[in-house]
Amino acid sequence: MMAAEQRDQLRGTLMHDEPMSKHTSWRVGGNADHYYKPADIEDLALYLSQIDRDEPVTWVGLGSNLLVRDSGIRGSVIATSGVLNGLSGLNENTVRAEAGVACAKVARFTARQSLKGAEFLAGIPGTMGGALAMNAGAFGGETWDVVSAVETISRDGQLNRRLPNEYEVGYRSVKGSFNEATNEWFVAAELTLEKGDSEQSLAKIKECLNKRGDTQPIQQPNAGSVFKNPPGDYSARLIEASGLKGFCIGGACISDKHANFIVNTGDANAADIEALIAHAAKTVESEQGVTLIREVRIIGEATT
């Protein structure tokens, strides 16, 4: 980890053996060795520059689209939600949002600035950092459709500004020379949008949220869509057609409301959820002849 005199320089909050079940939308997961909530991007840079070079680093926003295994996470977890929360207009068409800002908040902010094109973000139950990392989408829109630049931070705390052409962006996928695989992570995005009508955009956001409430099990702990949609089809249709709606393993169940959602009915652990994900994929492949690709990220160590 780091020496006491180095810790004294930090302005954020550092916790040890922190239960990840408190920080994931499925409400499961073992403990993180170190859990750091930076005061701001500069404080984050200091933290990254001071930890051991070989210490694993994991980023967590609202903890959606994420399954943390029951034996937890080794190394440091960087928590962005509620701390990397800068959100402002750069000019009449461009907004800057830091990685910890909830996507829905960005949608409302841009609408109130009479900008259109980011309303779909209201349907993404995560933060901008996660949305950037996976090109999250909802209601026909995708994050990188509106990204004009990103700000990144490297393992040694170096800040950079990158352009979209430095990445290969696809459906729920972002690859490039500068990404998590090479120890460079997103800390902010610049979104360039068109001028629009504030009332129309806010009405569209309300419509998106109502549709989400009508079609998704938002009242139960879940992590969003479990599988990517295969070309020309929907994972939910394939799972339902395989007779899996309502199927449970332990406290984890495939939602009766939306078959591409797995819900924690109250006493699930990560092993239950991971087993149910594997069972759904295996069953769909056997019954429908389609290989489902997981959208949910699984991290940490399984209980042995």
Domain that holds residue 24: 4-79
**pLDDT of 183 higher than 90:** no
286 is catalytic: no
Q: What total of structural domains would you count in the chain?
A: 3
Distance from CA of residue 150 to its chain's centroid? 16
Which of 79, 104, 124 corresponds to the end of one domain?
79
**pLDDT of 178 higher than 90:** no
- Of the listed 18, 172, 184, 212, which one is catalytic? 172
In a domain, 230, yes or no: no
pLDDT at 53: 87
Query: Crossing angle for the helix pair 198-215 and 103-112, nearest 10 degrees?
Result: 150
Q: What is the mean pLDDT of residues 154-159?
A: 90
pLDDT at 211: 87
User: Which amino acid does the sequence have at 89?
Assistant: G
Task: Please give the Cα distance from 14 to 140 (Å, whole number).
Answer: 39
In a domain, 150, yes or no: yes
- Of the listed 225, 235, 242, 255, which one is catalytic? 225
In a domain, 169, yes or no: yes
pLDDT, averaged across the chain: 93
pLDDT at 1: 55
Tens digits of per-residue pLDDT, 215-266?
999 999 999 999 999 999 999 999 999 999 999 999 999 999 999 999 999 9
71 is catalytic: no
In a domain, 97, yes or no: yes
pLDDT at 304: 64
Q: What percent of the chain has pLDDT over 70?
A: 95
Residues 22 and 45 in one domain: yes
Residues 125 and 57 in one domain: no
Burial 11-21 (b: 16+ CB within 10 A, else e): ebebeeebbbb
CATH of the domain at 279: 3.90.78.10
pLDDT at 217: 94
In a domain, 229, yes or no: no
Residues 111 and 185 in one domain: yes
**pLDDT of 182 higher than 60:** no
31 is written with which tokens?
A: 């403990």
- What confidence category does residue 37 fall into, taking pLDDT thresholds of 50, 70 and 90? very high
Which of 36, 56, 79 corresponds to the end of one domain?
79
- Of the listed 18, 98, 119, 295, which one is catalytic? 295
Q: What is the mean pLDDT of residues 266-294?
A: 97
**pLDDT of 64 higher than 70:** yes
pLDDT at 100: 96
Which of 30, 54, 79 corresponds to the end of one domain?
79
295 is catalytic: yes
**pLDDT of 86 higher than 70:** yes
**pLDDT of 6 higher than 80:** no
